[in-house]
A and B are shown apart, each in its own frame.
Chain A
Amino acid sequence: MKLNQLSLFLENRPGRLIEPTRLLAAEGINVMTLCLADTAEFGILRLIVQDPERAAQVLNDAGWAVNLTEVVAVEVPDQPGGLAEVLEVFEQAGLNVEYVYAFTLRREDRAILVFRFQQPDQAIAVLEASGHKVVDAERLAALVG
């Protein structure tokens, strides 16, 4: 039920973002969403892509420091309150969100929230118990495909 997020180390200088994205483009790997966490000196680029294992291999072969992290993705209606409702579920379960980012789908009125937890399985359990739709790799492919 979890998604593999790709994390990539970047130095914080002009032009560093271009090279890995070009590599993925050349391999025909579509980036669905990304989120950049940065400090003055370096950044961590987090990516949700089609085929994260292949993307990791491509980047690794080209000499980038990459790893894969399991994240939890939830499908919510793209309307006010969509995020708040999900966060409430986590709050009640006492789960701490490490970070979150989101993207919307063009064809449907849906948004996908991507969460990072220390205990992703517990998060998935409470989401499912509260009737939320957890998005796995297959579902994500269907939604964007």
Chain B
Amino acid sequence: MLKELWNDAEGGFHPASAPDFLPDAHLKAVQLRRLRAVVARAYDNVALFRERMTERDLTPASIQSLDDVAKLPFTVKADLRDTYPFGLFASPMGDVVRLHASSGTTGKPIVVAYTREDIEVWSEVMARTLACCGLHRGDIVQNAYGYGLFTGGLGAHYGAEALGATVIPISGGNTDRQVMLMRDFASSAICCTPSYFIHLVERAGELGVDLRELPLRVGVFGAEPWSDGMRAHVEATAGIKAHDIYGLSEIIGPGVGVECGEQQGLHIFEDHFLPEIIDPETGEPLPDGSEGELVLTTLSKKAMPMIRYRTRDITAIIPERCGCGRSLRRIQRIGRRSDDMIIIRGVNIFPSQVEAALLAVEGTLPHYRIILTREQGLDQMTVEVEVTPEVLSDQVRMLEDVRRRIAQAIERIVGVRVGLRLVEPHSIERSQGKAKRVIDQRGD
């Protein structure tokens, strides 16, 4: 039996992980049954969805196979804003036990709802997520995702409890206290954003605490893109195994996908979330293995079903079976979102590319930000990078050399000239949640 199936150090099967290993035919049968039910539910209860179905001469009976999902209309983020706050709910308020909302970048937030059954499904997929990261009963999980309207905190909390682990509901921020409790409570796992964890490691070092000497062994990191280089860095400096998790509040929150011990892509909990990859330009479905935009359909959601939700995340479905034995398909790690993209003088640039270049240059920690300005009508990109004692020299030309090497590494990857400014340590604001890597001062 696979190790991850056993729910504590001594062994003990955790039934929540069972659907990860369903035979393909069984999984597909579950998916089709649930797809038909969720389409009928959305059609019967959500006006916007029914109108769009009708426009296409579709009824719930049009869904006869899993491939028929491609006939259905897409849902986009603007639909959530346009129907703010409760317009996409498929349950009466009496059945809704929880609301969450995401911080909208423009104006109104988007609101999501959960029935009691939805909360149970969410707890289940998060328990499976944590089990997939190698956690079990007896683990002490320091949950540093923010509790509140953000789905991260409560999602991880319910999942860890469902798994039977011990949760420290510390929430985000107050880094000194995080370090103290991590040491005093002997936390074996931490859940937070990768950028916050880097900040935490750094702060622990200043406080004289070496995380490699603590019992901490697993990091459950998500809510923002992070690179493999960043993973190597945090695994080495903290002595942990770092897992990428994927989720979005529109679908459920965290718990849509997770990396297993193989760390070769993220398994999608396909029995609850049906993944498709589409061409972001044409909307046409793409075969497994092709890169495109991830589209998700919630197969079990009651309060707020999402049909073909366009995530804006760019990835590909990995066609091969995973070495861990799970039958769930995997997606590639998400390095970029189609709306994270920076366009400089017609060139598309993603912050993850800058990060990869920074990491390729020896001794550079990933504390950086990208500043976009416009000078005499021309877009300029400047990258600010904090100087560390490791790269610091007493000689100007050595430091100039570091600066030039970093700039050249970035230019090689992104293909446009960049300005590079070395700045003092801690001069770039640390995020308590999602890192803000790009400051756009172009002011259209």
B interface, size bucket: 10 to 19
Q: Closest B-chain residue to A70, C-beta based?
A: B394
Given contacts A9-B424, A11-B423, A11-B424, contact A65 B396 (CB under 8 A): no
Interface size on A, residues (CB 8 A): 24
A-contacting residues, B342-400, CB 8 Å: 386-389, 392-396, 399-400
B400 adjacent to A39 (CB under 8 Å) = yes
Given contacts A61-B206, A65-B389, contact A44 B396 (CB under 8 A): yes
Binary CB contact string for chain A from 1 to 23 against chain B (1 if under 8 A, 0 otherwise): 00001010111000010000000
Q: Does B422 contact A (CB under 8 A)?
A: yes
Min CB–CB distance B444 → chain A (angstroms): 28
Q: Which residue in A42, A46, A98 is a CB contact (below 8 Å) of B422?
A: A42
Q: Does A26 contact B (CB under 8 A)?
A: no
Min CB–CB distance A97 → chain B (angstroms): 12
Min CB–CB distance A43 → chain B (angstroms): 8
Given contacts A39-B400, A60-B389, contact A65 B425 (CB under 8 A): yes
A-contacting residues, B405-426, CB 8 Å: 421-426
B387 adjacent to A65 (CB under 8 Å) = yes
B389 adjacent to A67 (CB under 8 Å) = yes
Q: Does B103 contact A (CB under 8 A)?
A: no
Min CB–CB distance B201 → chain A (angstroms): 15
B-contacting residues, A41-72, CB 8 Å: 41-42, 44, 46, 60-61, 63-67, 69
Chain B residues near A69 (CB-CB < 8 A) = 394
Chain A residues near B387 (CB-CB < 8 A) = 9, 42, 65
- A42 to B424 alpha-carbon distance, docked (Å): 9
Min CB–CB distance A57 → chain B (angstroms): 11
Q: Which residue in B206, B388, B395, B400 is a CB contact (below 8 Å) of A65?
A: B388
A41 adjacent to B392 (CB under 8 Å) = no
Min CB–CB distance A114 → chain B (angstroms): 11
Q: Does B83 contact A (CB under 8 A)?
A: no
- A61 to B205 alpha-carbon distance, docked (Å): 10
Chain B residues near A9 (CB-CB < 8 A) = 387, 392, 399, 422, 424-425
A46 adjacent to B424 (CB under 8 Å) = no
- A64 to B427 alpha-carbon distance, docked (Å): 10
Chain B residues near A66 (CB-CB < 8 A) = 389, 392
A67 adjacent to B422 (CB under 8 Å) = no
Chain A residues near B393 (CB-CB < 8 A) = 7, 44, 67
- A41 to B420 alpha-carbon distance, docked (Å): 10
Q: Give the secondary structure class of A's interface.
A: strand
Q: Closest B-chain residue to A68, C-beta based?
A: B394
Q: Which residue in A16, A39, A60 is a CB contact (below 8 Å) of B396?
A: A39
Given contacts A11-B427, A65-B389, A66-B389, contact A37 B421 (CB under 8 A): no
A67 adjacent to B423 (CB under 8 Å) = no
Chain B residues near A41 (CB-CB < 8 A) = 421-422
Q: Does A116 contact B (CB under 8 A)?
A: yes
B396 adjacent to A5 (CB under 8 Å) = no
Chain B residues near A44 (CB-CB < 8 A) = 392-396, 399
Q: Which residue in A5, A16, A61, A67 is a CB contact (below 8 Å) of B392?
A: A67
B424 adjacent to A10 (CB under 8 Å) = yes
Chain A residues near B421 (CB-CB < 8 A) = 41
A64 adjacent to B396 (CB under 8 Å) = no
Chain A residues near B425 (CB-CB < 8 A) = 9, 63-65
A-contacting residues, B38-67, CB 8 Å: none
Q: Closest B-chain residue to A41, C-beta based?
A: B421
- A5 to B396 alpha-carbon distance, docked (Å): 15
Chain B residues near A42 (CB-CB < 8 A) = 387, 399, 422
Given contacts A9-B387, A41-B421, contact A63 B426 (CB under 8 A): yes
- A63 to B199 alpha-carbon distance, docked (Å): 13
A99 adjacent to B424 (CB under 8 Å) = no
A65 adjacent to B427 (CB under 8 Å) = no
Chain B residues near A61 (CB-CB < 8 A) = 206
B426 adjacent to A7 (CB under 8 Å) = no
Given contacts A9-B387, A60-B389, A61-B206, contact A116 B394 (CB under 8 A): yes
Chain A residues near B424 (CB-CB < 8 A) = 9-11, 16, 64-65
Min CB–CB distance A41 → chain B (angstroms): 6
A-contacting residues, B159-208, CB 8 Å: 206
- A86 to B23 alpha-carbon distance, docked (Å): 83
Chain B residues near A64 (CB-CB < 8 A) = 424-425
Residues of chain A having any CB pair with chain B under 8 Å:
5, 7, 9-11, 16, 37-39, 41-42, 44, 46, 60-61, 63-67, 69, 98-99, 116
CB-defined A-B contacts under 8 Å, sample of 20: A7-B392, A7-B394, A9-B387, A9-B392, A9-B425, A11-B423, A11-B427, A37-B396, A39-B396, A41-B422, A42-B387, A42-B422, A44-B396, A65-B386, A65-B388, A65-B389, A65-B425, A66-B389, A67-B389, A67-B394
A9-B422, A61-B206 given; name 17 further pairs at CB < 8 Å.
A7-B394, A9-B399, A9-B424, A11-B424, A11-B427, A16-B424, A39-B396, A39-B400, A41-B422, A42-B387, A42-B422, A44-B392, A44-B394, A64-B425, A65-B388, A65-B389, A66-B389
List the 7 closest pairs (A to B, CB-CB), nearest first: A7-B394, A69-B394, A63-B426, A65-B387, A9-B387, A37-B396, A65-B392
